[in-house]
Amino acid sequence: MNSTTKCFAMNIILLSFLPILPSSTSIAIGSIKPNQPMRDGDVLLSSNKIFALGFFSLANSRNRYVGVWYNKVPNQTIVWVANRDNPIIPVTDNNASGVGLLAVHGNGGLVIYGKDQNTPLWSANVSVSSPNNSMTAKLLDTGNLVLLEEDNGLSQGVLWQGFDHPTNTLLPFVKLGLDRRSKLNRFLTSWKSQDDPGTGNYGPSGFPQVFLYKGQAPLWRAGSWIGERLSGVPNMPYNFIFNITFVNNQDELYIVDGITNKSIFSRMVLEESGVLVRSIWHDQGQQWIKYLSAPEGLCDEYGKCGANGNCDPSNVGKFECTCLPGYEPKSPPDWYLRDASGGCVRKNEVSICGNGDGFLKVERVKVPDSSKALVNMNLSWKACPQECLRNCSCKAYAKADERWGGFGCVTWHGDLMDTRTFSNAGQDLYVRVDAIVLAQYAKSNGSLSKKGKLAISLVSVLVFLLLVVPISYWLVRRKRKGKQRQNKYSPRVTTRSTYFEDSTAELDESSMHSDIPFFDLTTIAAATDNFSLTNMLGKGGFGSVYKGVLCNGKEVAVKRLAKHSGQGIEEFKNEVVLIAKLQHRNLVRILGYCVQDEEKMLIYEYVQNKSLDSFIFNDTKRALLDWTVRFGIIYGIARGILYLHQDSRLRIIHRDLKASNVLLDASMNPKISDFGMARIFKGDQSDADTNRVVGT
């Protein structure tokens, strides 16, 4: 070997063992290349500077980590950590930083070094497909750190990406689930603590269901995908902000949480306590606002009521656990002590196969754990009961997909675990029971024995002779008075109506009476929990508006006129008749009315997002109204007004259009409401006089 060769070889050896010193100043870089590593203090920014990648330490720790955070959020919010279980240990107590290095080279692809820069602390563990190719690491505006393979500067594809290895945070567009080709399973795991991002005890897994585990034990089950949401998340945010997609094919099985407005920062974090929290960044308030969280209720605990039990949180003052139809507590003494962990077993241990057995419906539930259930997506919903009856091991069935009236069939063939009831959502579960239980439920729904019918008949005759005849005369007179009162307030247009009297428009005879359903006062009181303040949606000059749930589960909005409100009976009749005759997607739909004693109420369809003014005059909600949403609202209001002025059979002027009278549904579609001040015009009429000033 000549002297030149010896000198060159020595230089190589020296370079390989010399420590790479940290830079003295922080540098913002756009990529990491084999000859351009990132040192502790440097920051890798995404193209629009939304996210940043660099070295960081947590509040009460001197250890150094490499991670991604929001660059435009003042309070550093970490969303991904590379070396979460292998931190860079500080050289001395006074020097917690400066020794870290993130480099790209052929052995491992993307590598993190600490003090010993011959032994990596963390590696992406990938290599290029060809020795002639190179690698470049970049940070995308989605927060995804990608390692690209390049051939002479041309990208050959993604070798590795951080989104395939999420930590405790789920960002928009991160796939959660299984890649069947590479066997890669993407899931979240909590941090050990706020000062230690290491792998914690909590993590969701288990598709086609979503589970939250504590160690190896299931803590909460979000359920399986049923078309538009997970079965165990009735309030899943599928609206104008979020766009949730579920994919299940031969290559992949995952759920991805998209966002329609890229200017909104959203994240879902699995906290150290085992709670999954979705939040949105509020720029004006400079804080993260919680959107929803789970688990948060007593019945969210996995298997709270044991096998074949059902947890119902609405059992106020009672034990929340009950057995499913046809089952009874396995250990009654434990059940009385409110310990349902033993679950429920079949009553009488009789056969339920081919002996007159059938199904009983359990409404509004999170269906049982389907880990071992059978699914047939090609089976029609009507064929599902017979499919279950043909198999003696089948214990229950439900719809596989809730869309378009339901299709597909899910059948359970073992214990029914982790069933719970929701207040106003959920699926219908059909539980198989024997002929005896089926008959008992039929009797409880109105079928009586012969002795019972005879006893009731005898009692009825006695009551009629002793009580009914003497008071019948009084009841008839009271009924006549009630009819007179109801006729006085019935929603009909009369020639004495203030609003139609000064209008030159005429209504034909068919419009003189409305076919709107009449609701009894007791029905409305029950639906609104006796007009509870917790159900009040808003309050105006004419009274209050309450949210109600009818006995069939339908949500409604009840406008209750105050007894001394400014809106009189004429305005009330005006609003009922007008809305009943108007049909348009941008006008609120009336479902009925109630006039009883001094009460006057209108029952409307329930609109989820309340009124437009609740968004405009609220700093948090106003941030959600980007130009696309605002334009859609403006366009919808204009279409509604055009319909009133030009396209409807009755030409109507609203006369009280304002933000509080524009309601927004779940998709932010506007609906014009409150027609108490409206006025009808003739088709060829362009102006008219009024007897009084109205509007706001």
For the chain, how many residues are written? 696
Instruction: To the nearest 10°, report the CA torsion of 416, 254, 188, 54.
Output: -170
Examine the residue annotation and report whether 689 is marked as an active-site residue of this protein. Answer: no
The sign one gets for the Cα dihedral 29, 33, 39, 40 is: positive
Structure tokens at 167: 């930590």
Calculate the CA 413 to chain-centre distance: 29
584, 576, 583, 580: which is closest to 559 by C-alpha? Answer: 576
Cβ contact 220:212 at 8 Å: yes
SS3 of residue 573 by DSSP: helix
Q: Known binder of ligand: residue 600?
A: no
Cross-strand pairs, 169 = 269
Among 121, 104, 127, smallest CA distance to 32 is for 104
Q: Is 525 exposed, middle or buried (0-12, 13-18, 19+ CB in 10 A)?
A: middle
3-state helix/strand/coil string of 585-607: CCECCEEEEEEECCEEEEEEECC
By CB atoms closer than 10 A (0-12, 13-18, 19+), residue 45 is middle
Kindly give the pairing relationship between strand 396-401 and strand 344-346. unpaired
Which DSSP string corresponds to 240-297? SSEEEEEEESSSEEEEEEEES-TTS-EEEEE-TTS-EEEEEEETTTTEEEEEEEES-S
Q: Give backbone dihedrals phi and psi of 545, rounded to 5 degrees, phi first.
A: -120, 130
Closest CA to 306 of 459, 424, 147, 420: 420
Determine which helix (DSSP H) or strand (DSSP E) holds 694, and give its type and residue range. none
CA dist list (Å): 60 to 70, 198, 272, 273: 21, 14, 16, 19
The answer to whether the bond into 208 is cis (omega within 30° of 0) is: yes
Kindly state the DSSP code that residue 511 receives in the 8-state scheme: G
387: exposed, middle or buried (Cβ count in 10 Å: 0-12, 13-18, 19+)? middle
Q: Which of 272, 285, 283, 276 is nearest to 257 (CA)?
A: 276
CA torsion sign for 415, 421, 422, 424 is positive
Q: How far is CA 381 from the centre of its chain?
A: 25
Pairing status of strand 590-596 against strand 169-170 = unpaired
Give the residue among 340, 350, 291 at the shortest CA–CA distance from 320: 340
For 140, residues 6+ apart whose C-beta sits below 8 A from its C-beta are 46, 47, 51, 146
Exposed/middle/buried for residue 397 (C-beta within 10 Å: 0-12, 13-18, 19+): buried
Catalytic, out of 529, 626, 656, 665: 656
- Report d(CA 286, CA 541) in Å as an integer: 35
Q: Write the DSSP assignment of 422-437 as a string of letters.
A: -SS--EEEEEEE-HHH
Residue whose pair of structure tokens reads 């003090």 in the numeric block:
115
Binding-site sequence positions for ATP: 559
Residues taking part in catalysis: 656
